[in-house]
Amino acid sequence: MKKRNLTRTITLVSAILLGFTAGGIFLFFSGYSPLRALEKLFLGIFGRPRYVIWVMVRAVPLVLTGLSVAVAYKAGLFNIGAEGQFIIGALVAALVGYHVRLPMVLHIPFVFLCSMIGGAVFGGIAGILKARYGIQEVISTILLNWIALYSNNFLLKFPGIKRPDSEASFQVRETAQIDLFARFKTSDSWIPFQMENPAIADALKASLSMGVFVAILAAIIVHYLLKRTTLGYQIRAVGFNENASRYQGIPVNWIKSGSLAISGALAGLGGSLHVLGVTKEVSRLAIMEGFGFDGISVALIGASNPLGILLSSFFFSGIRYGAVSVQRDLGTPTEIINITIGTIVFFVAIPYLFERIMLAIKKRKEQKNAN
């Protein structure tokens, strides 16, 4: 196990270096200095306290969608539907956050719960289709992504949901917002506080929310679930060897559908955290926002390990956020950062590809021997 972890660490570090090398080569031949770009990237992440906080805030949806993909992957499933489940979670959060009136201590957990249920329903549909009818979850989750997007846009046509003279919903009530310092920053104490504590005040200019801590707690809970519980053992067993799990009496179909439901709940929670902590509303979508798709890359880089996903989410968010400074100050093409990330994911994925191929060959041999 230690040797395997060491191999994966070396692979990940090598993939990151190769990714930055590929980005640097494209920058060089485009007429830009790779070292200058790297400097701007670093300053764009760590140059000011608020930059660091924004990186953390923007990592929150990636943590949850990454965990969503990882849970399904542990059960041998590929959840491409985290994007749609995220959209549903965000939509439910906006609706419940505005239309339901509760004290803050009840309102926030209630919104979380409703968003998780919404995401779990969308994940569970794909799970049932897989378990009962053998429909590939890749196909069903892709289709469910579009159903989620158009459901979001359809509901935002109604007067009670759509804010007048806008393409967005009503903003969630203050009792549902999780920005930790929103009221303080509009109070009379804010201006003198800024003068006395410039570094802390600069950090607080970012929308630091409860979502950062919820995301970390979610990663810890998922880690405990997978490593320390009977359900987690069954999920991993089904993902490792479905036939052996069935022989041992594990309800394989239930585990598959349940894993996708849990996966959907996590993505739905991510949508809720994004709405309550950052946007405060949902808008009509012309295209997918990409949080769920980025979660696939995050889960891959984090080796589908919940704690690894935490680190890879902050890494992914940092590159995305720091790239804005590179593009603004140097005028580099936006495609460069996508090339860098794509190269990293590509080289990280290669060992997993071989593992999946070898596992498939092994399963076929076992099936032939059984027959």
The residue ranges of every structural domain in the chain are 59-177+199-306
Measured CA to CA, the distance from residue 9 to residue 35 in angstroms comes to 25
Is the pLDDT at 9 greater than 80? The verdict is no
- What are the residues facing 179 on neighbouring strands? 209
Measured CA to CA, the distance from residue 74 to residue 270 in angstroms comes to 19
- Report pTM: 0.90
- Going 267 to 269 to 272 to 278, the CA torsion angle's sign is negative
Segment 113-122, tens digit of pLDDT? 999 999 999 9
Chain position carrying tokens 């972890």 = 5
* Helix, strand or coil, per DSSP, at residue 209: strand
Measured CA to CA, the distance from residue 321 to residue 330 in angstroms comes to 15
One-letter identity of residue 228: R
Closest CA to 330 of 21, 37, 56, 5: 37
Measured CA to CA, the distance from residue 348 to residue 15 in angstroms comes to 6
User: Per-residue pLDDT averaged across 36-40, rounded?
Assistant: 88
E strand or H helix that includes residue 152: helix 137-155
E strand or H helix that includes residue 190: helix 190-196
Segment 215-264, tens digit of pLDDT? 999 999 999 999 999 999 999 999 888 888 888 899 999 999 999 999 99
Contact, 208 vs 51, CB < 8 A? no
Segment 60-118, tens digit of pLDDT? 999 999 999 999 999 999 999 999 999 999 999 999 999 999 999 999 999 999 999 99
pLDDT, position 352: 64
122, two tokens: 């969308």
Say what the alpha-carbon torsion angle 56, 75, 233, 361 is, to the nearest 10 degrees: -120
Closest CA to 276 of 158, 154, 116, 155: 116
Provide the H-helix boundaries in 30-103: 34-46, 49-74, 82-99
Tell me the backbone φ, ψ of residue 75, rounded to 5 degrees.
-90, 10
Other Cβ atoms less than 10 A from the Cβ of 268: the count is 35
Other Cβ atoms less than 10 A from the Cβ of 316: the count is 26
71, two tokens: 């849970």
Segment 253-279, tens digit of pLDDT? 999 999 999 999 999 999 999 999 999
Measured CA to CA, the distance from residue 172 to residue 114 in angstroms comes to 14
- pLDDT-derived band at 357, boundaries 50, 70, 90: low
DSSP state of 276: I
